[in-house]
Amino acid sequence: MHEFSIVNALLEMCEKNAKEHNATKITKVEIKIGKLSGVEPYLLQTAFDTFKEETICAEAEFIVHLQEIVIHCENCHNEVTLTHNEFVCPTCSSTDLRVIDGEEMYLMHLEME
């Protein structure tokens, strides 16, 4: 379960941002997780709820946005959001694709007081 180490790094990032902005607490943490990131949103939520206690995020609301897979077709240059994990261009049926979104996890927004 690498979600626990991800949450640990996330909480450290929150602490650092709060110190840089002279905040005493964080009230909201918003992240974006790509469907191909290998991160399970439910497990990440559980880990956040478990480890946020006694940190600057103790009372923070945790919001997860799931990012669909967006591809760029190198054949027809179409950009498409895939509805299924079928890596075929829906326009020209090419498999010469590049994933342009949906593989990573981002800290999108922090609300601090």
- 14 appears as a binding residue in the annotation: no
- 76 appears as a binding residue in the annotation: yes
Q: How far apart are CA 97 and CA 87, in angstroms?
A: 7
Which helix (DSSP H) or strand (DSSP E) does residue 16 occupy? helix 3-20
Distances (CA, A) of 38 to 7, 28, 34, 112: 14, 23, 8, 29
- 73 appears as a binding residue in the annotation: yes
Q: How far apart are CA 3 and CA 49, in angstroms?
A: 12
CB atoms within 10 A of CB 45: 15
Binding site for Ni(2+): what residues are annotated? 2
Binding site: what residues are annotated? 2, 73, 76, 89, 92
Binding site for Zn(2+): what residues are annotated? 73, 76, 89, 92
